[in-house]
Chain A
């Protein structure tokens, strides 16, 4: 990477200096809770129905603004991506998702 390289994207954190002193916690297992498992199942079902690819899932996750990216849990990011994709494709409507 040249000295004058532009900054990496939010998700592109291999080697990122800001995490150098953050410990990795081997005991932090945290298997997915019911929320996470449900989001994961929806992702798989929508992929099986040809409505999305893993690449689109990733693109949707990468589009989350940086502050939120790190504040949201893993499966919260997925939900944000998947629901956004289905909105984009007209599978669901904005009013379906609004509180």
Chain B
């Protein structure tokens, strides 16, 4: 099991990994498809929880920091009203610092 330390502070610009585990076989992931590869801003840390990707298969699960991350809706869909946002809980292993 890997252990994780919370790396991101509020205001940090992050990118959601453009990873598609669903193409590699049975899996359970809580990172919505529409956010993969998108950039957002860490709103606040939400504590740490056991990794659902392992819990779903009753495997030993590491405890991973969880964050509320904010994304601009227009940046995702290229439509909608400027200023509208979506706020999503994401686990740290899905996030990387935005370039």
Is A72 part of the binding interface, using a Cβ–Cβ cutoff of 8 Å?
A: no
**Residue from A1, A62, A89 in contact with B34 in the complex, judged by beta carbons closer than 8 Å:** A1
Is B38 part of the binding interface, using a Cβ–Cβ cutoff of 8 Å?
A: yes
Is B28 part of the binding interface, using a Cβ–Cβ cutoff of 8 Å?
A: yes
SS class of chain B's interface: helix, strand, loop or mixed? loop
Chain A residues with CB below 8 A from B5, complex form: none
- Given A14-B33, A15-B77, does the pair A6, B20 have CB atoms closer than 8 Å? yes
**Cα A19 to Cα B18 with chains together (Å):** 24
- Given A6-B22, A8-B22, A9-B22, does the pair A53, B37 have CB atoms closer than 8 Å? no
**Residue from B32, B35, B56 in contact with A59 in the complex, judged by beta carbons closer than 8 Å:** B56
**Residue from A8, A56, A58 in contact with B33 in the complex, judged by beta carbons closer than 8 Å:** A8
- Given A14-B33, A53-B55, does the pair A59, B28 have CB atoms closer than 8 Å? yes
Query: Is B56 a contact partner of A56 (Cβ separation < 8 A)?
Result: yes
SS class of chain A's interface: helix, strand, loop or mixed? loop
- Chain B proximity of A18: nearest CB distance (Å): 14
Query: Is A63 a contact partner of B26 (Cβ separation < 8 A)?
Result: yes
**Cα A51 to Cα B77 with chains together (Å):** 40
Is A55 part of the binding interface, using a Cβ–Cβ cutoff of 8 Å?
A: yes
Query: Is A1 a contact partner of B56 (Cβ separation < 8 A)?
Result: no
Q: Which residues of A come within 8 Å of B, CB atoms?
A: 1-2, 5-6, 8-9, 12, 14-15, 53, 55-56, 58-59, 62-63, 89
| Chain A to chain B: the 6 pairs with minimum beta-carbon distance, closest first | A8-B33, A59-B56, A55-B55, A55-B56, A59-B28, A55-B52
